[in-house]
Structure 1
Amino acid sequence: MIVILFLLMAGFVVLIKGADIFVDGAAHLARTLDVSPMIIGLTVVAFGTSVPELFVNIAASVGGDTDIALGNVMGSNIANGLLVLGISALIRPLQIFRKTVWQAIPFSLLAAIMLWVLANDVFVDGSFFSILSRSDGWVLLGFFTVFMAYSAAVIAPVDGLPPVDPVPPEKAAAVALKMAFGFCGLLFGSRWIVDSAVALADRLGAPRVVVGLTVVALGTSLPELATSVAAARRGAAEIAVGNVVGASIFNILFVLGISAVIRPLPVTPAANVDLAVLTATSVLLVVFLFAGQVRVMGRREGGLALFLYVLYTGYLVYPLFF
């Protein structure tokens, strides 16, 4: 058990560090190619915090561990909405302007509802079992393309993008080496995480999807937690919330889309509880942040979000020990 936990933690360290190096290299490459800062913000910055989820899901899908792939995305989004924003609001109340919220959050809620519909073949079209098929994956990727176009046309010009640190051009060889090194970290780290998660589930006698929803999801959500907490401490509430909303949309539409295209993901009836919690999290975010012209997600709302996350986690792990 100790070896499994050590490999799991080592996998998270290698994965997150690899993601940092890879995204930094991508930013340098974009500046070297004279790509505009707006495009860098819409792609590299948005892509950055969700790289761990993406590579863990690719590794899980390729290896046939589809329960971990599905659990990782659902668990990460629930952790983002309840844990990450809850902690951020406790540090400093998050004041958000309604226009900004309604330009981004509808896609987050739409993505959650779309996932529920696509993942419920039994209820929607009377099939004998539910599965996120390859065609479902292409549908998700199509909507992701629409979201990116919408972001470029509407959100970015009106509200601006999170500030991006100046990135000086570098020599092509140095950039390529940096990206290759980061990519290797992503590959090895994600594989260690998936293998360790499978071993941990087998050792505990737990469903793999539960390990994906909890341990793996928490680990891959660390970049979002670090980014949003740092933004909250600086008083940059728009960045803290935008990071969570953007990552949640990216996880469902892009990460799950890619995962389903690689290998169809079976969906058990029990997963409907997690899908319901995921959708409710998006609804709560709207309730917390939309009231009048300006709404503050204060410490009370942050505490409630954290309480709900602890309650949900307890619901998942209670059967393992009692």
Structure 2
Amino acid sequence: MMQSLLLVAGGLVLLGLGGELLVRGAVGMAARLGISPLLAGLTIVGFGTSTPELATSVQAALAGAPGIAVGNVVGSNIANILFILGLSALILPLPVDPAAFRRDSLALGGSALLCTGAVLTGTIGPLVGGGLIACLAGYIWWAYRSESAAPCPEGARHEHEAEDRPVPPNTGPLVLGGMIVAGLAAAIFGAGWLVEGAVVLAGAAGVSESVIGLTVVAVGTSLPELIACIVAVLRKHADVALGNVVGSNIYNILGILGITAMIKPIAVPSEIAAFDIWAMLGVTALLLVQLRSGWRLSRREGAVLIALYIAYALFLSMR
């Protein structure tokens, strides 16, 4: 038990460090190549901050642990909305930009529906995975075109996301390339440790791999989003906190689940198909209603989200 806990803890540390190294190296390389901060924020930062989820789900699928692979995506999206956004709103109410909401609400709600459909097929294979990746590419193209056409708050937010991960201006391509390689290596090794420890932990605790994937693994891989959101609201950048969660949930489904299914078909555990995917769909719908109501996420609504996450976690602990 102690060894598995150490593997989980060590894996999470490596995943966090690897993701940060990868993002900083890639953003620095993009700047050297003349890639705009807007495009870097939409693509490099979006993919880079999802590296922990991607590495973990791929490793879990290859290791024959579909409960962790799918549970990581579904559980991360639930935790992002109920716990991370709820806590952020308790600290600082989050305003909503109506123009950005129209696009991102369609992407967020649509990706949740696509995920539900994919899960209900029973096995998520390369064909479905390819479709999810194509949808992500379409979303990135749509966002880039709309945000580069005219100055807008969402475009500025994506630029700030890239600019918030600076590297010294005299850093050479060799060092930046080394950061990218080191970040990828740390994420891969960290994901291996996390999956190995989580499988053993599930057996020792007498719970299913799905429950561990939906809780310990999902919350652990979402720690970068938690830290980023708390820092953002403490700096009074509420739009960054909300955008982080919305973007992360879209990337988790379309990118993480899509790439994982392309690498290794995933047999969806029946318990996730029976309840957890519907919980994810429900909390996504609840968030969209809250954001549309008054164009802000209030402290009271944040408290409701946290209460729902506590209830969900208690339910999983008794399952």
TM-score grouping bracket, smaller chain normalisation: over 0.9
| Equivalent in the alignment of 1:189 | 190
Give a deviation string over 1:282-309, Cα, whole Å, max 9, x none.
Answer: 11111111035xx221111000000001
Q: 5 Å matches for 1:57-76?
A: 57-76=57-76
Letter in structure 2 aligned against 1:26 = A
The question of whether the paired residues in 1 share the 8 Å contact of 2:93 and 2:297 is answered with yes
More off after superposition, 160-169 vs 214-223: 160-169
Q: 5 Å matches for 1:100-119?
A: 100-119=100-119
Q: Secondary structure at the match of 2:64?
A: coil
Letter in structure 2 aligned against 1:137 = G
- Output the CA distance in 2 between the equivalents of 1:268 and 1:110: 22
1:242 maps to 2:237 = no
Q: Secondary structure at the match of 1:149?
A: helix
- Output the CA distance in 1 between the equivalents of 2:170 and 2:276: 44
Letter in structure 1 aligned against 2:312 = Y
Q: CA deviation at 1:270?
A: 2.1
Give a deviation string over 1:235-270, Cα, whole Å, max 9, x none.
Answer: 222111111000000000010001111111112332
- Output the CA distance in 2 between the equivalents of 1:8 and 1:46: 24
| Equivalent in the alignment of 1:43 | 43
1:264 maps to 2:256 = no
Q: CA deviation at 1:155?
A: 4.2
Gaps of 5+ in 1: 122-129
The question of whether the paired residues in 1 share the 8 Å contact of 2:3 and 2:197 is answered with no
The question of whether the paired residues in 1 share the 8 Å contact of 2:202 and 2:208 is answered with yes
- Output the CA distance in 2 between the equivalents of 1:137 and 1:204: 32
| Equivalent in the alignment of 1:17 | 17
Provide the alpha-carbon RMSD of the alignment: 1.4
- Output the CA distance in 1 between the equivalents of 2:52 and 2:136: 18
Letter in structure 1 aligned against 2:133 = L
- Output the CA distance in 1 between the equivalents of 2:48 and 2:188: 15
Letter in structure 2 aligned against 1:18 = G
For residue 133 of structure 1, the aligned residue among 125, 128, 140 is: 125
Q: Secondary structure at the match of 1:270?
A: helix
1:5 maps to 2:1 = no
Q: Secondary structure at the match of 1:35?
A: coil
With over 3 angstroms needed to count, the CA separation of the structure-2 counterparts of 1:204 and 1:141, relative to structure 1, is same
Letter in structure 1 aligned against 2:241 = A
Q: 5 Å matches for 1:125-274?
A: 130-155=122-147, 157=150, 158-159=152-153, 160-162=155-157, 163=160, 164-165=163-164, 166-167=166-167, 168=169, 170-272=171-273, 273-274=275-276
Q: CA deviation at 1:62?
A: 2.1
Letter in structure 2 aligned against 1:246 = G
More off after superposition, 42-51 vs 85-94: 42-51
TM-score, normalized by length of structure 2? Answer: 0.93
The question of whether the paired residues in 1 share the 8 Å contact of 2:232 and 2:238 is answered with yes
The question of whether the paired residues in 1 share the 8 Å contact of 2:66 and 2:269 is answered with no
| Equivalent in the alignment of 1:124 | none
For residue 289 of structure 2, the aligned residue among 259, 282, 287 is: 287
- Output the CA distance in 1 between the equivalents of 2:136 and 2:103: 15
The question of whether the paired residues in 2 share the 8 Å contact of 1:32 and 1:170 is answered with no
- Runs of at least 4 residues of structure 1 off by over 6 A? none
The question of whether the paired residues in 2 share the 8 Å contact of 1:29 and 1:170 is answered with no
Q: CA deviation at 1:169?
A: 5.5
Give a deviation string over 1:154-183, Cα, whole Å, max 9, x none.
Answer: 245433232123553621211122222222
Count the aligned residue pairs.
309
- Output the CA distance in 2 between the equivalents of 1:118 and 1:18: 29
Give a deviation string over 1:187-222, Cα, whole Å, max 9, x none.
Answer: 111100000001101111211111000000010000
More off after superposition, 241-250 vs 160-169: 160-169
The question of whether the paired residues in 1 share the 8 Å contact of 2:119 and 2:277 is answered with no
The question of whether the paired residues in 2 share the 8 Å contact of 1:59 and 1:191 is answered with yes
TM-score, normalized by length of structure 1? Answer: 0.92
Letter in structure 2 aligned against 1:141 = I
- Output the CA distance in 2 between the equivalents of 1:181 and 1:133: 30
Percent identical:
37
Letter in structure 1 aligned against 2:36 = S
The question of whether the paired residues in 2 share the 8 Å contact of 1:31 and 1:169 is answered with no
Q: CA deviation at 1:56?
A: 0.7
- Output the CA distance in 2 between the equivalents of 1:302 and 1:155: 28
